[in-house]
Structure 1
Amino acid sequence: MKLNLIKEKGLFKSPILYVMLILIASHLATIFSGVFSVFYERMFFSVFPSNSYMSTLAELSGFIALTLSVIFLSRVIYKQPLHGLGFTKKSSLRDYLKGWLYGASILTICVIIMMIFGAVKINRVEFNARLALQFIPLIIAWSIQGNAEEVLTRGFILAGVSQRINILTGIVISSAFFSVMHLGNNGLDMLPLIDLFMFGIFASLVMIKSKNIWVVSGFHAAWNCFQGNVFAFPVSGTSVGNAFFHVTTHGPNWLSGGKFGVEGSMVSILVQLILIAWLYYDIFIKGKRKLTDKFDF
């Protein structure tokens, strides 16, 4: 199904101005989300106790403002339907669960590889009713956070730029924006920055292949959830509380990920390179599409 995402009038006639407007709108959405989160967390802690677990829930669930901001921009400013952001109805739950399965599996594979090379050691396994019950709200919270970042970077930026210019430009711009979103994170240096850009490419290809936002949103949520609350790694430089497996890292940061987490490791980059190569083959060689094509759902 082809979708006309672009209104050919006014400033929208110029590809460069159109891209600039998309990036400005995206930046404003992140600012609004940040401001909303401040007030949201105040209201949240006026009802719930303040501790590390509740702080994680509050921070992650506050990302709903980012999703709503992007939907507002798409519907009201750009006059586009929800499926223009990748919110397709067909097989949505199945695709989302599929994304969760892929994300959890690939993150676990990365951790196992890091263990084989001595970069990660599991010190303690903790599984009890309290942790299991706490994990359920975390699944929802990570789903909100992962979906928000994907709706902005892949649903709004990638889809919009790719339809207006071409797929290659959309991938590069959306991946760069995704990397820039993490510039203030703890432990960020060149290797994690490269990894974030690589993830942007991988996530873009997943969305292009699946033609919806669900698979990549599920993948993103599961990757973060398993990284932080199953294996106790920092998630993009942020500690997120209790986990089932308590791990310690050893050796150089380029192998262990250091303070940034698994996505600061060369292991993550190499795994993503393999996945990107497979997706590129499937979409552009086997599927006979071109990077210079325009995007359609």
Structure 2
Amino acid sequence: MMNPNGNPAQSLTFPAAMGQAQRPTGPILGIVIATVIFFVAQLAALPAGLPTEGAGLTFVQQAVLTGSFGVGAILLMLWVRFKERRPIRSLGFAAPSAGVKILRGALIGLVMISAVALITVATGQGTLGAPNWNALLPALVLLVGFTIQGSTEELFARGYLVQAVSWKWGLLAAFVVQTVWFTLLHGANGGITVVPVLNLVLVAVFLGFWSLAEEGLWGVCAFHAVWNWGQGNLWGAHVSNMDVETSVLSFRPTPGASDLISGGSFGFEGSLVSSLMLALGTIVAVIMVRRRRRAATADPL
């Protein structure tokens, strides 16, 4: 279908943007390229040293680990621009309402991760120590790193992989691929069990539908950044079985607390409270996608 200005490329929806490429990448090569670029880029973090399971994550380690994701983002953008020959904005970064989507995504991320923390404390499964205001500025600096890290993961999973796979195999296959890829990407985290895996799947599905509802990645990038940052640097919970040393608050499971509720040593993403929040978010995102499709069908243009 052609848009009113006669440019067929501009009428393509966000998942179908691979159709804008002069030299498009197919599903198999797309999966290989995304995986190779992502893991090669992680070599940039090696100078900071790899934290051991259960050990504290220092400010420098956290800054380098999160910031190094930007290398992968740059490499993927170069592939899209010079190999595929399509605009970088086609990955999900169209300009209209970007600021609104970013603010909304960040706010939803803050509300949801805060709800997880407060529900856990309210049910007696966790406690909060006194705030450390001296950590506020360093924590805000680390939010920049999480913005790079979270946005890069969205760029690869909900952006590039969805576009590379849906172009030939359809949107359902693209959703399956991005969900499996995203889950396996985090599968090496220490102490991972069934609940963290469930939550990884829920995050992938939730953010997948959200990106469809907004026709892009601005909102999900902001959500991902604040959700990740809020766990350790704001609330002070463990993150994937690691203790974050730079945190404003200090969450700890109460003695005898259920790991299913508190998340245990793994952190909030090992909690069924997170599962509940992510499931609710998924339901809302699905409703928004359906409303968007109904509105598009009803539009005579």
Instruction: Please state how far the C-alpha of 1:65 moved relative to its aligned partner.
Output: 0.7
In structure 2, runs of 5+ residues without a counterpart are 1-9, 50-56, 297-301
Deviations 1:94-114 (A, max 9, x none): 322221111011110111111
Kindly provide the CA deviation profile for residues 87-144 of structure 1, in whole angstroms up to 9, marking residues without a partner as x.
Answer: 11222233222211110111101111112222221122222xx322212311211111
Q: Could you tell me how far 1:79 is from its partner in structure 2?
A: 2.4
The equivalent residue for 1:230 is: 234
Q: Tell me the residue number matched to 2:28.
A: 20
The one-letter amino acid of 1:122's match is L
Q: Is 1:169 aligned with 2:169? A: no
Contact 1:84 1:155 in 2 (8 A): no
In the alignment, structure 1 segments of 5+ residues that lack a partner are 13-17, 43-50, 291-297
Deviations 1:131-175 (A, max 9, x none): 222123112111111111111111111233233332222222101
Matched, 1:31 2:33: no
The Cα of 1:20 is off from its aligned counterpart by 1.8
Structure 1 moving runs of 4+ over 4 Å: 7-12
Q: Which residue of 2 aligns with 1:243?
A: 247
Q: Output the amino acid matched with 2:219.
A: V
Once the two structures are TM-superposed, the CA of residue 193 in structure 1 deviates from its matched residue by 0.7
Which of 142, 149, 160 is the equivalent residue of 2:146? 142
Alpha-carbon distance in structure 2 between the residues aligned to 1:108 and 1:11 = 41
Sort the Cα spacing of 1:78 and 1:125 in 2 relative to 1 into closer, same or farther, 3 A: same
- TM-score under structure 2 normalisation? 0.83
Output the CA distance in 2 between the equivalents of 1:91 and 1:137: 26
Q: Secondary structure at the match of 2:239?
A: coil
The offset of 1:289, in angstroms, is 9.0
Q: 1:286 to 1:26 in 2, by over 3 A?
A: closer
Partner of 1:192: 196
- When residues 120 and 24 of structure 1 are mapped into structure 2, their CA distance, relative to the original with a 3 A threshold, is same
CA contact (8 A) 2:138 2:246 kept: no
Normalised by the length of structure 1, the TM-score is 0.84
Q: Counterparts of 1:116 and 1:135 in 2: how far apart (Å)?
A: 25
- Is the 2:23–2:83 contact (alpha carbons within 8 Å) kept by the matching residues of 1? no
1:53 matches 2:66: no
**Does the 8 A contact of 2:139 with 2:248 survive in 1?**
no
8 A contact 2:234–2:248 mirrored in 1? yes
State how far apart, in whole Å, the 2-side matches of 1:111 and 1:218 are: 19
Could you tell me which amino acid in structure 2 is paired with residue 87 of structure 1?
A: F
2:267 to 248, 261, 279: 261
Once superposed, what is the RMSD of the aligned Cα atoms?
A: 2.4
- Please name the residue that 2:208 is paired with: 204
Identity of matched residues, %: 22
Asked whether the equivalents of residues 143 and 229 of structure 2 are also in contact (C-alpha less than 8 Å), the reply is yes
Aligned amino acid, residue 158 of structure 1: V
- 8 Å contact 1:25–1:73 — kept in the other structure? no
The question of whether the paired residues in 2 share the 8 Å contact of 1:6 and 1:164 is answered with: no
- Residues matched between the structures, number: 274
Question: Judging changes above 3 Å, is the alpha-carbon distance between structure 1 residues 33 and 239 closer, same or farther for their aligned structure 2 residues?
Answer: farther
